Structure 1
Amino acid sequence: MMSDMTAMEEFEHQFASLSADITSKINDIPKKHGNEKKILVNTAEKQMDEAQELLEQMDLEVRGIPAKDRQKYSTRVKSYQTELTRLEKDLRRSKIAFTDLETGRDELFGLEDVQSSEDQRTRLLDNTERLERSGRKLEAGYRMTVETEQIGQDILDNLHRDREKINNSRQRLRDMDSTIGQSSRVLNTMLRRIIQNRFLMIFLGLVVVAVIILAIFFSVKKHK
């Protein structure tokens, strides 16, 4: 358990560092031009991918955490996912927030007409908003899937505990059956000995009676 917590803390530290660096680059992108700007955008996008991989690793770690602590860390991962989604949105906006008209035309569509570039950028923003709405729906579906998986895991844990209880009860019943069997064998042995003793006592009684009768018989005969 401590190992899982340590791994989660390390992942959270890495994510915090990455998100801070990404935020810094997003703020600097609109101030850059040409190749320098492309390099900064590419670096930020790579860091976005790294942050997403970190979130996936966190999600796997959360599944291995005991149930009593799992919900707390699951909520954290969801908040990190929300933050990364916000950063992706800010990055898309920063890429089209140009500081000079010429760079804006070159980087968006390569057009020479200023008004056309602005129209294209407006449509791009609209498309971006639609993509973000779709992303939010996908995220909601993902959260529902994770919650369903969590419920399923809890049910499996409960079934596992119930199975252990049933197996323990079954073992106790086997032990009781064995004890009862041994007791039954002891009782049967005692009963046989009692019956044998009774027959022996009857036999001895008959012998004693026979001896008494013979003694009386010979005594009477002797007197005669």
Structure 2
Amino acid sequence: MSSERFEYAEDELEGVLERLGSALTQLETSQGEARKRNQQICEKSLEDGSKLLEEMDSEARSAPLQYRAQMIATVRALESRLQLLRSSHRSILSGSKSARTSATGGSGKQQQQAGDGVREKVISGIRTLERTGDSLFRSQQVAIETEQVGTGIIEDLGTQRESLERTRNRLVHTETELDETRSVLRKMTWNVLTSKITLIAIIFIEIGILVAVVYWKYFRKTS
């Protein structure tokens, strides 16, 4: 993970959930001062769990992108576990109130039935918690695998981008060299053309001189 605070809060929350589950089990069967003590433990654990979840959620949302999905999935899994334990706590308290009402009416059988109903709800909640935890774990694994695939794609795209940039740089360099080559060719062409014009001019001059010499040597003396 990218945050030590997140990992520390996760460890703390795991301990709180274990303590809360144990207190709920004892709360169902305890009486008197022991029941009050377990009730205080449950309330304190629920409060601490909510604070730790808020801290973890804040850390997860500000984490780097490559860690964010996994961290948020962890937060959601722990949040579901806490909510199920909270529901079990409410069910136990509700069952206790029903049991006290039945006791006022003097019906021991109804007390037993109320206690059995609460126990069944707690067991059902624990089973639901386990199934939800397994489902969230699988979802978390899928999210991690998807994130890894996405990271690999991003790395491949980064490599391809670097390759394209190198190719583009080579093309720019090649184009520059071609421009220089075209400039040199234009100069060479101009030099060749100038040389041809100069050569033709020299030839015409020599022909003119030759005609003048012949005329002066032969036709001038004759006249």
Scaled to the shorter chain, the TM-score interval is 0.5 to 0.7
> How far apart, in 1, do the equivalents of 2:15 and 2:51 lie?
13
Residues 1-224 of structure 1: pairs in structure 2 closer than 5 A: 5=2, 8-20=3-15, 23=18, 30=26, 32-34=34-36, 36-57=37-58, 59-60=60-61, 63-64=64-65, 84=78, 88=82, 106=96, 110=100, 111-112=102-103, 113-124=110-121, 125-220=123-218
**1:137 positional shift:** 1.6
Identity between Structure 1 and Structure 2 (%)? 16
Q: Which amino acid aligns with 1:44?
A: S
> How far apart, in 2, do the equivalents of 1:134 and 1:14 lie?
21
Seen in structure 2, the aligned counterparts of structure 1 residues 56 and 128 have a Cα distance that, compared at 3 Å, is same
> How far apart, in 2, do the equivalents of 1:40 and 1:135 lie?
23
Computing the radius of gyration from Cα coordinates, the structure with the larger value is 2
Seen in structure 2, the aligned counterparts of structure 1 residues 180 and 108 have a Cα distance that, compared at 3 Å, is farther
> How far apart, in 1, do the equivalents of 2:128 and 2:77 lie?
19
> How far apart, in 1, do the equivalents of 2:176 and 2:196 lie?
30
Seen in structure 2, the aligned counterparts of structure 1 residues 145 and 28 have a Cα distance that, compared at 3 Å, is closer
Paired position in structure 1 for 2:107: none
> How far apart, in 2, do the equivalents of 1:109 and 1:173 lie?
85
Q: Which amino acid aligns with 1:210?
A: G
Look up the SS of the partner of 1:33 in the other structure.
helix
Number of corresponding residues: 206
Unpaired segments ≥5 residues, structure 2: 104-109
Kept in 1: contact 2:99–2:114 (CA 8 A): yes
Kept in 1: contact 2:17–2:45 (CA 8 A): yes
Q: Which amino acid aligns with 1:169?
A: T
**1:191 positional shift:** 0.7
Kept in 1: contact 2:98–2:114 (CA 8 A): yes
Q: Which amino acid aligns with 1:165?
A: S
Q: Which amino acid aligns with 1:123?
A: E
> How far apart, in 2, do the equivalents of 1:24 and 1:127 lie?
16
TM-score (norm 2): 0.64
TM-score (norm 1): 0.63
> How far apart, in 2, do the equivalents of 1:46 and 1:178 lie?
70
Comparing 110-119 and 184-193, the one that deviates more: 110-119
> How far apart, in 2, do the equivalents of 1:180 and 1:170 lie?
15
> How far apart, in 2, do the equivalents of 1:150 and 1:53 lie?
27
Comparing 120-129 and 193-202, the one that deviates more: 120-129
**1:175 positional shift:** 3.9
**1:108 positional shift:** 7.7
Cα RMSD after superposing both structures: 4.5
> How far apart, in 1, do the equivalents of 2:21 and 2:129 lie?
19
